[in-house]
Amino acid sequence: MQDYREFLSEILISEEQLQARIAELGEQISRDYANQDLLLVCILRGGVLFLTDLMRQIAVPHAIDFMAVSSYGIGARQSSGQARINLDINTDIRDRNVLLVEDIVDSGYTLEAVLSLLKTRRPKTLRTCVLLDKTERREIDIPVDYVGFTIPNIFVFGYGLDIDEHYRNLPFIGVIDLKKYKAL
């Protein structure tokens, strides 16, 4: 695999900007759920870095669980308009306050698939927290309750987001220069 410096065109959101915004989101969530039960459900794999930083900024006691969803259809860097649940949570969410934690909302189909499944289990509340929102790309209207950053329609990587399953570990959000990236 290439070193990311070979195809990084710019750092869109720095580590400092990410951490400062996540601290604000954590404060807001702590206020909104004060004295209430809270379960964070992280969508694998991209949401993992966001979850672990966010939960350290949430002052109310809370539990965590995980789901995995894959889009399928066209290529790895295109949303396909369909999403399949590959891993379900183990927690019984009936009458609980559930907050979904996701890296990015693009077309909206991933969150829509998760929301419609979890709704059938009758949680007390069901909300969404996304780090990045590509509003221009939305194809389906879904409620996004907490947003880190709204970004333009460009392919980004790092901080949980992958290019061909790599580079999720980078502490910032970078923009890919597609001409310089050698696809697998």
Contact set with Mg ion (CB under 5 A): 46
Residue 144 touching ligand IMP (CB under 6 A): no
20-46: b (≥16 Cβ within 10 Å) or e: eebeebbeebeebbeeeebbbbbbbbb
Q: Is the CB of 36 or the CB of 169 nearer to ligand IMP?
A: 169
Within 13 Å, how many C-alpha atoms sit on residue 17's CB side? 12
Q: Is the CB of 33 or the CB of 49 nearer to ligand IMP?
A: 49
Binder to ligand IMP among 108, 123, 148, 174 (CB under 6 A)? Answer: 108
141 is catalytic: no
Residue 94 CA to its chain's centroid (Å): 23
Binder to ligand IMP among 4, 149, 155, 172 (CB under 6 A)? Answer: 155
Binder to ligand IMP among 7, 50, 66, 157 (CB under 6 A)? Answer: 157
- Residue 83 near which of Mg ion, ligand IMP, none (CB within 5-8 Å, type-dependent): ligand IMP
Q: Is the CB of 26 or the CB of 46 nearer to ligand IMP?
A: 46
105 touches 111 (CB < 8 A) = yes
User: Which positions are catalytic?
Assistant: 106
